[in-house]
Amino acid sequence: MQKQKMSGYLDPFLELCKKFDLKITPQRCAIYKRLMQAKNHPTADQMFRVVKREFPNISFDTVNRTLMTFAEIGLVDVIPTEGGPRRFDPDLDKHHHFHCIHCGEIVDFTNEEFDNLGIPEHILEDFTVYSKRVVLNGVCPKCRKKKGFKDRNNAKQNKNT
Amino acid sequence: MQKQKMSGYLDPFLELCKKFDLKITPQRCAIYKRLMQAKNHPTADQMFRVVKREFPNISFDTVNRTLMTFAEIGLVDVIPTEGGPRRFDPDLDKHHHFHCIHCGEIVDFTNEEFDNLGIPEHILEDFTVYSKRVVLNGVCPKCRKKKGFKDRNNAKQNKNT
DNA sequence: GTGATTGCAAACCTTTTGCACGCCA
DNA sequence: TGGCGTGCAAAAGGTTTGCAATCAC
């Protein structure tokens, strides 16, 4: 009966599995379920810890491999990061990223102007484009407030005062 | 005399070092020099191999740490990647990235419309923005041509024919 | 002279790979 | 039943850290 109650939100997942000839396993279902609830671009390890709570026997590899599989079939996005562990983005709606070069945090934001950007013709001729995103780099509010924060554009401010 | 000949292109680098109280070491100069000649977003390891040719004693760590230092002072960009080694972008001019989800290649392109995008007011209020970049995700021409390439939007195309 | 920088080595973290067993279709 | 998927373990790859020696200022 659990299965029937859950079938609703699992539908798009089941469909996609069928489409790509992926077997429907309890592990994959659990990972999908938690993924849809996830906020803030979880890493494979974070997902592992969450899923492990209701699926104690699951291995990290399964979670990691499953997430990669999900990425391949377009169920999640893999977020480019600057060196740290891979991050997955379950939010497939249009949104953009602000990346803090200080703490590494990635903050989502939405913006219609960015959404409506056209993709240049000469790109479309040669490339198949799946997604488009504006990425801002800088310093987030939290880091800006930190004592001793050195603004890149204001180096040696102390010396010049 | 070598030093005098080279002082020209090193000038902006020397200035920046002074600005941030960084000591000017032969290692840093060599890395900077090669970095400015680099194409295609080198990794720390690639930079290490190149610099090593004219500076056989240099260690990987020095190259890696120096590149991170350069990134901190805004001399290079760190390119977000999806899992592989960190990549550095010495091209600070406005440009945008196409990322191939198949081979991982990052292709630069320029686009005026993208360059002229404004940054939303509500972002500017809370965040300090250093750079803005449009990132496209998809499949590059090389991968598209590969035999057996599966279009994400056309799974099971063989079965449906 | 002094503190930043370098080179070396080990530690650490994450991802990848190989393989036997088990489960879904 | 057959083959994909899982779990375990080891390996690989890349980055970070600690420290002593060295070098720029």
pLDDT tens profile A114-147? 999 999 999 999 999 988 999 998 888 887 776 4
Q: How far is the CA of B86 from the C1' of D14 (A)?
A: 9
pLDDT tens profile B21-76? 999 999 999 999 999 999 889 999 999 999 999 999 999 999 999 999 999 898 99
Specify the CATH superfamily of domain A93-161.
Answer: Ferric-uptake regulator, C-terminal dimerisarion domain (3.30.1490.190)
Q: Domain limits of chain B?
A: 1-90, 93-161
Banded model confidence at residue B4, pLDDT cuts 50, 70, 90: very low
Q: Is the CB of B16 under 7 A from strand D?
A: no
- Tell me how many degrees the CA angle B94-B97-B100 measures, rounded to the nearest 5: 170
Contact B68, B26 (CB under 8 A): no
Distance CA A135, CA A107 (A): 10
Third-level CATH fold of B1-90 = Arc Repressor Mutant, subunit A (1.10.10)
Q: What Cα–Cα distance (Å) separates residue B56 from each residue in B10, B31, B61? A: 21, 13, 13
Ranges of residues in chain A with a pLDDT under 70 are 1-7, 146-161
Q: How far is the CA of A21 from the C1' of D4 (A)?
A: 10
Contact A95, A108 (CB under 8 A): yes
The distance of B36 to chain A (nearest Cα, Å) reads: 20
Question: Judged by CB atoms within 8 Å, which residues 58-87 of B form the interface with A?
Answer: 71-74, 77-83, 86
Contact B129, B123 (CB under 8 A): yes
Pick out the nucleotide with least CA–C1' distance to B64.
D15
Q: What is the pLDDT of residue B156?
A: 44
Task: Check if B156 contacts A (Cβ < 8 Å).
Answer: yes
Residue to substitute from B127, B140, B156, B159, interface A, most A β-carbons within 10 A: B127
Whether pLDDT at B14 is above 50: yes
